[in-house]
Amino acid sequence: MGDVHDLILKHGKTQTRDLLGTDRVLADIAAAVMADETGRMGFTYSGFCLTALPHRNPNMETWRRDGHRITLLIESGKTRQGDHIGIPYGSTARMILLYLQTRALQTNSRFVEIGRSMNAWLDRMGLSIGGNTYRQVREQGHRISACHLTFFHERADGGEVRHNGAFVENALQFSRTAPNQGELWQDTVELNDKFFRAMKEHPVPVLEAAIRQISGKSVALDIYIWLAYRLHRLEGPTGVSWPALYGQFGAGFKALKHFKPEFTKSLKLALAAYPEAQVELGPEGIVLHQSHAPVGDRKVHALR
């Protein structure tokens, strides 16, 4: 694709939208990110840059994703009656987790304020709480609260390191209907200690303005976060084949031929939200080039 950011600088947003035709949404995303002056950051654990939650409801008790030298298992929690609650999935679950991780790192505390604070953040990210959105937040919050995580890391010597844990220690408590006056549920939630420590040791910064623009697109969110982690670490051009992309991002797609169009569309959205990214799309897959991180390293070190 032509660099939408260069087109905006040369022709402006309106003319660029006309030039892009059916891809005009890319101009809207790129222009919004380029116009951001706040520089607000979000954070995620590096393990989620190489693995991911399901995009759709997997309707299974255990979810497995393999990344580069890492495997993630998510096990569904259970109700008091022993029924499975389900695996968290989709863009809403990702946005809840981004908020919890961001606030925990910003405050250097496992105890994360929610209620009005989380409501305000989700609203800023384009997810106004109410109606169907609130039902989604409520459902995904329950799934996040109850599930169990296992990360398997492959060591350079061929050994394996296993980390068991969860996202949170105590459940996110919801009212049955969307609340008034900005309240969502209890005032704080406690993150799991192992999860919190791993996140502090390996944080990946993302730009809030970018996350807002793709907040409803789970595949685009995963691609953006993956690129934010990988690109600035590269020493030279790195090819990633279609089978490898399918293995990491293709959960829920029956075959590679069904995955390619969705990945291509989502990649364009992610790149529009990441002006610094240098990525080439081709018949064999994609080629990654060393690029500046979306947020400067100096700001990240200041939080440690």
CA dist 302 → 46, 104, 108, 199, 219 (Å): 18, 14, 11, 15, 30
Q: Are residues 26 and 130 in the same domain?
A: no
Taking the C-alpha atoms of residue 222 and residue 93, their distance in angstroms, rounded to an integer, is: 12
Q: Are residues 16 and 97 in the same domain?
A: no
> How many domains is the chain partitioned into structurally?
2
The torsion angles phi and psi of 86, rounded to 5 degrees, stand at 120, 160
Q: Are residues 134 and 183 in the same domain?
A: yes
Q: Are residues 141 and 84 in the same domain?
A: yes
Closest Cα partner for 76 from 166, 170, 194? 166
Looking at residue 148, its pLDDT comes to 92
What 3-state DSSP class applies to 202?
coil
Q: Are residues 102 and 245 in the same domain?
A: yes
CA dist 12 → 9, 15, 158, 214 (Å): 6, 6, 52, 21
Q: Give the H/E segment covering residue 157.
A: none
Q: At what angle do helices 4-11 and 24-35 cross, to 10 degrees?
A: 80
Q: Are residues 126 and 29 in the same domain?
A: no
Domain that residue 47 falls in: 36-301
Q: Are residues 19 and 158 in the same domain?
A: no
Closest Cα partner for 213 from 298, 113, 135, 294? 294
Q: Are residues 15 and 146 in the same domain?
A: no
pLDDT, tens only, 258-272: 999 999 999 999 999
Looking at residue 19, its pLDDT comes to 92
Q: Is the dihedral of CA 128, 131, 136, 139 positive or negative?
A: positive
Q: Are residues 267 and 203 in the same domain?
A: yes
Low-confidence ranges of the chain (pLDDT < 70): 1-2, 129, 171-187, 296-304
pLDDT, tens only, 165-186: 888 887 666 655 555 544 445 5
Looking at residue 302, its pLDDT comes to 36
CA 42 to centroid of chain Cα atoms: 10
This prediction's pTM = 0.88
Looking at residue 180, its pLDDT comes to 55
Looking at residue 44, its pLDDT comes to 92
Closest Cα partner for 240 from 35, 50, 72? 50
User: CB 300: neighbour CB atoms within 10 A?
Assistant: 16
Q: Are residues 96 and 237 in the same domain?
A: yes
Q: Are residues 117 and 51 in the same domain?
A: yes
Q: Are residues 24 and 42 in the same domain?
A: no
CB crowding 40-73: b at 16 or more within 10 Å, else e: bbbbbbebbbbbbbbbeebeeeebebebeebbbb
Torsion angle of alpha carbons 291, 297, 298, 304, nearest 10°? 180
The β-bridge partners of 74 are 63, 149
